[in-house]
Structure 1
Amino acid sequence: MHEHERFGPERVRFGIVVVSDAVYEGRREDVSGKLAKKIITESGHEVTYFSLIPNDKGAILNVLEEAKESPVDVIVFVGGTGLGPNDLTVDVVDRVADKEVPGFGELFRYITFQKRGSIAILTRAGLWVYSKLLILVTPGSPDAVETALQLFLPVARHAVAEARGLRHGMPKGV
């Protein structure tokens, strides 16, 4: 166990938000959100929030505001990382976040490049801190969700401790 993990929660509480017009409207089944939930719970953490929303700035902002007030440590947005006009998740999160954690996106794209080649440059996957809440944004494909969570879950407790300032003398519950 890394030193900083001793300050983090035993189990990280995740929220999963699938951002997809097709899934929200029932035109396509949610495969990636369900996969994210399975991977997170099998890793010993818990999912305390799950939502399907359209590619809509207001819907994304509402989820972020709800998450700040809910018992969630990390919100995983699935979808909205591409270059299309409806891919808004990254733009909305980036505008409101306090800090970006660039290493996640860099490694995600590197791993994707190793698997799939230059297509990796077209994703804007990333990690941010917003009001002591971690926000992970991953593309909507099942492979991308699995890659993102395999990359993030080993450092989840440490990341929560860092984002909440727990190793800097702040009380554990803050």
Structure 2
Amino acid sequence: MKNKKRIRFLNGFLNIILVFTTLLFIILIFSAFKTADRNIINIILEIILGLIFFGSYFMITFTLKKILKLIRDKNPFNINNITYFKRIGYYIFIVGVTDAIINYPKPTNLGFEIMSTQYGSLKPIFFLYLVLSILSLILSDVFRMAMEIKQENDLTV
């Protein structure tokens, strides 16, 4: 019973994140066109980077909902979850690279910059994205191993 409540809560929370991500992208589009002193190339570039950034977040959340559905169906160790965790790892990496591109020229208030040049620097958050991406890929391998062990145990009856 406790597990079902947790799954319902997480599913509702992921739905809120999906709506919030969609709204943020719509706000980004409207704010890109609202500023009059920018040229069309900057507006298009901002929309493309925003689409990649928010689209990746949207896909991460959507893929997490698929994983949660398989957990709710009591089938967590199957080939789909392995694929989903790999996808999440790639999406997080894309978000990290996009964030690094967007925030490279912006100064940080933390006073901590990595690979700093006169034009910009990598921010520490990029390495967090990198670690989360690797973590998701490792989870994919763990789920693959668990699925193989489960299949071996099913055969030894």
- Both structures adopt the same fold (TM-score exceeding 0.5): no
Higher strand share goes to which structure? 1
Q: Larger RCO: Structure 1 or Structure 2 (Cα < 8 Å, ≥ 6 residues apart)? A: 1
Higher helix share goes to which structure? 2
TM-score w.r.t. the length of structure 2 is 0.29
TM-score w.r.t. the length of structure 1 is 0.27
Larger radius of gyration: 2
